[in-house]
Structure 1
Amino acid sequence: MMNCQFVFLLLVIYMLYLFVGAAIFSVLEQPYEEQLREKVLNMWDDFLEIHPCLSEEKLEDFLRTALLVKSFGVSVLRNISGFEVKWDFVSSLFFAGTTLTTIGYGHPFPISLSGKVFCVFYCLIGIPFTLSLLSIVAQKLTIFLRDRPLHYFHHRWNTSNNKLEWIHAIVVISILCLFSFFIPAIFFNFLEENWGYADALYFCFISLSTVGLGDYVPGERSGQRLPALYKLLVVGYLLLGLVCVFLMVEIFKNLLKHNQILSLFLLGYEAGRQDEEIDHVSTNDSEVPFAPRNDETTRRRVTHSASPNEKSYGSISPSRAPAIIT
């Protein structure tokens, strides 16, 4: 019953979190949407006024087709260069890497039916394999970056584990954030001419959180220098960055064990479920009519009447106790 109440409380909090986020996004973004719509309508009217021979229907059909082709990742400009092909090997590798890591910028995406079918089966195997691999690597790195240093400093400085874990976690997470978000944002700010530092930092966070909104995609700028090498480096950055994120999650999970409020909120249901399983196993064990002889703990719970032919080594029956010779 307690677990049901806990789950219901989490659902209520999550729904409230969704509604609050939706309200804030609506307040922040709707004014800019109205401004852009008004700007486009003014451009539309000005263009038709300058070109009276062009009908509004033809212009609308042309723009609809051009936007559809653009959504497929194909440029509609005539001065396209060979580096802007969207499905060469390096671009396809970039697509495979961002898809298997569940980032999925959505640019480009498969156009053909065969490509869509292959993408489904490719992701069915590739996504679990990729996430499992990244998680395993992060767990192995946790041993070298968390367990061993904590063991060394605990015995060297004789500091409490709780205090030492918090200090270590703050230092390690700060370093990981520096090399995962803040330093890469400097390079993206330099390589992408139309990205500010805030835009680059936003891209790093959206990518490594596997949200991948697709509003910022590296290497899509026309005239990008060494685009193939650049996209390969971006794929490597995403994989290493996700390992760092998984590592931060592992460190944070270990901190929850020493915080009663957070562990009750985030780990309480799991702990309760494990307690129920232990109680269920203990109840079933108490109904077992016999127990193996090598299990001393279980044997002591079995009554003598359950196995009359078996000698009892855990206690001596008073009726069979030897007489004391005086």
Structure 2
Amino acid sequence: MVNHCPLFFLLLLLSYVLYLVIGAFIFSLLEQPYEKQLRENVEDLWNKFLEKHPCLSEELLDDFLRKALLAKSFGVSVLRNVSGFEVKWDFVSSLFFTGTTLTTIGYGHPFPISLSGKIFCLFYSIIGIPFTLCILSIAARNLLFLLRDKPIHVLHLKCNFARKKLEWIHAGILVSLLSLLFFFIPAIIFNIVEDNWGYIDALYFCFISLSTIGLGDYVPGEQSGQSMPALYKILVICYLLFGMIAVFLVVEILKSLLNCNQFSNLFFFGCDNSRRAEEIDRVPPYDSELPFVPKHEETTRRRVPHSVSPTDKSYGTINQTFS
């Protein structure tokens, strides 16, 4: 029998490459005009500033801006005000960094500057990331049992609905509630707290964060003048952790509904062997696991007609005439 799994796997790779190419083309088409316009605005601002200050050397201004932008990339603001000199590595900010790093969100703001900090981050993440993902996965599976398996089992016993239909209805309701609780309602809160975020920006932040993409273009708690910034960042960390548990829960629900394991077997090189192993696992137990019955006794019993009286013939016992 020909194994088609390598062919399916090659088609899967080609489909993914095509998906990447299409995405790159659309992003380039959408973002390039805005980038061009922004470059023109910066160039115009640069020329106007030099015209108003002819005594200022262009080389010195370029060197100053380069150093200022480098410091800004390290999370240090160059603005000459009180908020500009806020400490970026206090305990709460460091807690926010560890939370976003171990959940693999990684906004990139801030990030370790010192060599010792980078080395510690390396070893800390090697242990911490699997530990965090393991906890999130276990929490999601426990919630899956409490929020899906038990309610569906109770409804299946009390109602006359098919179990598969109940699973789809329950999944639709549960996914809608989780989306409301961890995407749409938090987006309203972020829209209120963050002054320069629109609702779409806040919804975009929620999705980018909980999907662990973490582009870092929107980072909460970085505006100056926010009330109780430490408490706000701690609440954001809690939101991210519980939100990722909700995402894990949704993924488990969709996997069980769509039978992803059967679909993924199409692309494994050893899929035929795995199917045979599954069929073997479904075979009833061997005779050796049943109560012992002699082979000759079993076959002779099958051959005895129901009409024959036990007094005429006796199988599986010693003949009385030899006693």
**Structure 2-normalised TM-score?**
0.85
Which residue of 262, 273, 276 maps to 2:273? 276
Mind listing any 5+ residue stretches in structure 2 that lack a counterpart?
301-315
Residue 152 of structure 1 is matched in structure 2 by: 154
Q: Which has the higher contact order (CA 8 A, sep 6+)?
A: 2
Q: Does 1:313 align with 2:313?
A: no
Matches for 1:105-184 after TM superposition, within 5 Å: 105-184=107-186
Counterpart of 2:244 in structure 1 is 242
- 1:265: Cα distance to partner? 4.1
- Please name the residue that 1:41 is paired with: 43
| Correspondence 1:11-26 to 2 at 5 A | 11-26=13-28
SS at the partner of 2:61? helix
Q: Paired residue for 1:198, among 197, 200, 207?
A: 200
**Cα deviation, residue 314, structure 1:** 3.6
Output one character per residue of 1:131-189: Cα deviation in whole Å (capped at 9) or x when no partner: 01000000000001100111111111110011111100000000000001000000000
C-alpha distance in 1 between matches for 2:81 and 2:74: 18
Structure 2 distance, partners of 1:278, 1:297, is: 25
Contact persistence 1:83–1:227 (CA under 8 A): no
**Letter of the 1:313 counterpart:** P
Which string of whole-angstrom CA distances, capped at 9 and with x for unpartnered residues, describes residues 92-129 of structure 1? 00000000000000000000000000000000000000
Output the amino acid matched with 2:171. A
Q: Which runs of 5+ in 1 are unaligned?
A: 284-293, 300-310
Matched, 1:53 2:55: yes
User: C-alpha separation between the residues in 1 aligned to 2:12 and 2:106?
Assistant: 28
Q: 2:287 aligned to 296, 299, 320, which one? A: 296
Identity %: 61
User: Could you report, residue by residue, the CA deviation over 1:266-306 in whole angstroms, capped at 9, with x for unpaired residues?
Assistant: 45446x846514647999xxxxxxxxxx952599xxxxxxx
Contact 1:84/1:222 (<8 A) preserved: no
Per the alignment, residue 310 of structure 2 pairs with none
- Give the structure 2 partner of residue 84 of structure 1: 86
The secondary structure found in structure 2 opposite 1:13 is: helix
The 3 A distance-change label for structure 1 pair 298 and 19 is: farther
What is the CA-CA distance between 1:313 and the residue it aligns to?
2.9
| Secondary structure of 1:193 counterpart | coil
2:191–2:197 contact (8 Å) kept in structure 1? yes
How many equivalent residue pairs?
A: 299
TM-score, with structure 1 as normaliser: 0.84
| In 1, Cα distance between equivalents of 2:71 and 2:53 | 24
- In 2, the alpha carbon distance for the partners of 1:218 and 1:121 equals 27
Q: Distance in 2 between matches of 1:159 and 1:99?
A: 45
**CA–CA distance in structure 2, aligned partners of residues 114 and 187 of structure 1:** 37
- Partner Cα separation in structure 2 for residue 190 and residue 207 of structure 1: 18
The answer to whether residue 110 in structure 2 is matched with residue 70 in structure 1 is no
State how far apart, in whole Å, the 2-side matches of 1:24 and 1:273 are. Answer: 37
